[in-house]
A = this chain, B = another copy of it.
């Protein structure tokens, strides 16, 4: 199996064989499996290693005082759960597995050593973090100035692109394990309302969502509705336009 972490970072940087081997080793050394619903990292945790998604789907979330859960991001294979570990004292939110997930644990000291020894890795990590920043900014724009309908469209379109990047979305149709309640918590609306917006997307002929599978019928329409501008994902850094991210999502962005 290809390593999704290396794959992701190589969209932006070039590793030497020896770097690649080190990364491979690190992401195989300690591997843990989590069941759906289980917490990969708890809020307030003190960690001395960081978590790398290998397979599955997780969410970055926080439970608020009023009991509401806010999902801040979805994590797919290749995503680092807790880059902040190098610098900050403790987690200010949690990571939860939404589907059965496999995670690699990498010791913080190993990581620090790696960061110091390899400029390419430092660059790769920076790129990941800065991209995360961009995605969060986009989400703020979402919440601040788009209707719930458009917001839902935007989230689905972003997920389509991110799944395509890993080749799991042939024909704009892919396994979709996210429940409506989770979509609601991510978009900041009520489950009831999320349901209604999804229905509207179906009625408007943009998507088909059934049996844990999402098919985007009218990608162009969905993109237009969502006012989607792929710029914030910064995919265009790919070295090889054919095999790179840009190549794989070409028609979508």
Seen from chain A, the residues whose Cβ lies within 8 Å of a Cβ on chain B are 12, 62, 64-66, 68, 70, 72, 83-84, 86-90, 92-93, 116, 119, 122-123, 126-127, 129-134, 136-137, 139-141, 143-145, 185, 187-188, 227, 231-232, 234, 236-237
Contact = CB atoms under 8 A, between A and B. Distances in A.
Contacts of A236: 89
A70 B144 contact: yes
Nearest to A141: B70
Contacts of A66: 145, 227
B144 A234 contact: no
Contact of A140 (B70, B92, B145, B237): B70
Contacts of A64: 141, 145, 227
A123 B188 CA distance: 34
Given A70-B145, A188-B143, A129 B119 contact: no
Contacts of A144: 68, 70, 143, 185, 187-188
A145 B234 CA distance: 28
Given A64-B145, A68-B145, A129-B133, 17 more contacts: A62-B137, A64-B141, A68-B144, A70-B141, A70-B144, A72-B141, A84-B130, A84-B133, A87-B130, A89-B236, A89-B237, A92-B232, A136-B136, A139-B140, A143-B144, A144-B187, A144-B188
